[in-house]
Amino acid sequence: MFGRVPVIAVAALTALAALSGCASSPPVSEAPPPAPVDRPPGPTSLTGGMGAPEADGVFPRTITHFGGVTTIAAPPQRVVVIATGQTDAILTLGVVPVGAASGDDADLVPRYVRDAFPQYATQLAAVASVGSRQNPNLEAIAALHPDLVLANAAASQEVYPALSALAPTVLVEGTGVNWKQDFLLLADGLGKEGAAQAFLDGFAADAAKLGESAGEQTVSFLRVTADRTRIFGVSSFVGFIAWDAGLRRPPAQQFDATSKDLSPEELQLADADRIFYSVQGATTEAEAADSATTANPLWKALPAVRDGRAVLVDDDPWYLNAGPTAARIVLSGLEATLTGGH
């Protein structure tokens, strides 16, 4: 199982050193550092003094976060979220945002979120846009009179002072591999850390059960866009979920980074017993087949593709939004494929 990989797996990684890399780090022709196998790829709890000393439900509460220290006077009722994964997270805790920012060419409320929370359909339809994640509209935020703003330090550190002038603002760290820590920190700001921890405990237990049933199958994670084809490593959202389940990864994907770009000639690095792939904008296999990557004869020649073991997945929860409900969707998809005979 990955996360408990025997020494032979490290040897295999060395043997395939010429097969891993990306545009932003060592190219695929160079050997990446081996991924850590004895520790989680991301944080699983609040550390470094983060969070609030007050018990759940106690307000005022003073929370230490990635932007500084913020006091929240009362249970938040009007929450604005800047990162789309945070919409997922607060809905998981029973809170509906009044405003949200959106990613480039993305829905304000992702479809998978609307599908997962039909009980909030009317409220979600009324969520106001506050601009883009990269450039939130401060006037639109102010007009909503929020009592809490949530954002990622990875994208919103510079605008944090302006957000804080409008309402108490909490910054989580951001990036997919930090999803558990960020969920706990966000929940702490709502006075609901216990509920978030219970969710994570249940998730870990179910992931372990999946790993026991999945056997020795290897899993590969691939995302295709108009100009990039990427495989995802251990230190990614889906990589962390696979690590939780103890799933094996092909040697070429046992790197300690979020992702690595593949050239059209390097598609063999995506092969595994099961490939979980998305194509941006595609919701059906017919649509996915139109991309340059999936039309490439080298893709069609991969054993997993040739034998029907490549599974098209929803881009939003698997590769774009790192939230607890997205994590559940990924885990369910892995389970259905690896243990359900699909």
Is residue 25 pLDDT above 90, yes or no? no
pLDDT of 9 strictly over 50: no
pLDDT-based confidence at residue 84 (cuts at 50, 70, 90): confident
**What is the arithmetic mean of pLDDT over 85-89?**
95
Q: In angstroms, how far is CA 342 from the centroid of its own chain?
A: 24
- Tell which residue, 252, 188, 238, 247, has the closest CA to residue 213: 247
Query: What pLDDT digit, counting tens, does each position of 166-216 carry?
Result: 999 999 999 999 999 999 999 999 999 999 999 999 999 999 999 999 999
- Give yes or no for a contact between 318 and 333, defined as CB atoms under 8 angstroms apart: yes
pLDDT in the model for residue 212: 94
* Each residue's pLDDT tens digit, 237-269: 999 999 999 999 999 999 989 999 999 999 999
| Residue 327 pLDDT greater than 70, yes or no | yes
Q: Is 100 helix (H, G, I), strand (E, B) or coil?
A: strand
Are residues 170 and 46 in contact, defined by beta-carbon separation less than 8 angstroms? no
280-302 average pLDDT score: 95
Percent of the chain with pLDDT over 70: 89
Report pLDDT for 39.
Answer: 87
Helix (H), strand (E) at residue 81 = strand 79-81
- Alpha-carbon span 281 to 159, nearest angstrom: 30
In terms of phi and psi (left: phi > 0; alpha: psi -120 to 50; beta: otherwise), the region of 57 is left
pLDDT at 104 over 90: no
Residue 17 predicted with pLDDT over 80:
no
Distance of CA 212 to the CA centre of its chain: 23
DSSP 185-200: HHHHHHT-HHHHHHHH
pLDDT of 38 higher than 90: no
3-state secondary structure of 38: coil
CA distance 245 to 262: 26
Structure tokens at 316: 């939003």
Is the confidence at residue 93, as pLDDT, over 50? Answer: yes
| pLDDT on residue 37 | 55
| pLDDT for the residue 247 | 97
Q: Which residue shows structure tokens 């103890």?
A: 246
Distances (CA, A) of 161 to 53, 58, 170, 171: 24, 26, 11, 11
Distance (Å, whole) CA 313 – CA 241: 15
The residue ranking higher by pLDDT, 162 or 30, is: 162
Question: Residue 27: pLDDT above 70?
Answer: no
The total of other beta-carbon atoms located within 10 Å of residue 16's CB is 15
Residue 103: its pLDDT value, please? 83
CA distance linking residue 198 with residue 218, whole number of Å: 29
pLDDT the model gives residue 21: 35
30 vs 131: CA distance, rounded Å: 40
Mean pLDDT, the chain, whole residue set: 89
Taking each helix axis from N to C end, the angle separating 193-214 and 179-190, rounded to the nearest 10 degrees, works out to 150
| Backbone φ and ψ of 110, nearest 5° | -55, 150
**Sequence-ordered list of residues with C-beta below 8 angstroms from that of 123, at least 6 positions apart, any chain:** 96
| Cis geometry, peptide bond prior to residue 75 (ω within 30 degrees of 0) | no
> Residue 96 — φ and ψ, nearest 5°?
-105, 130
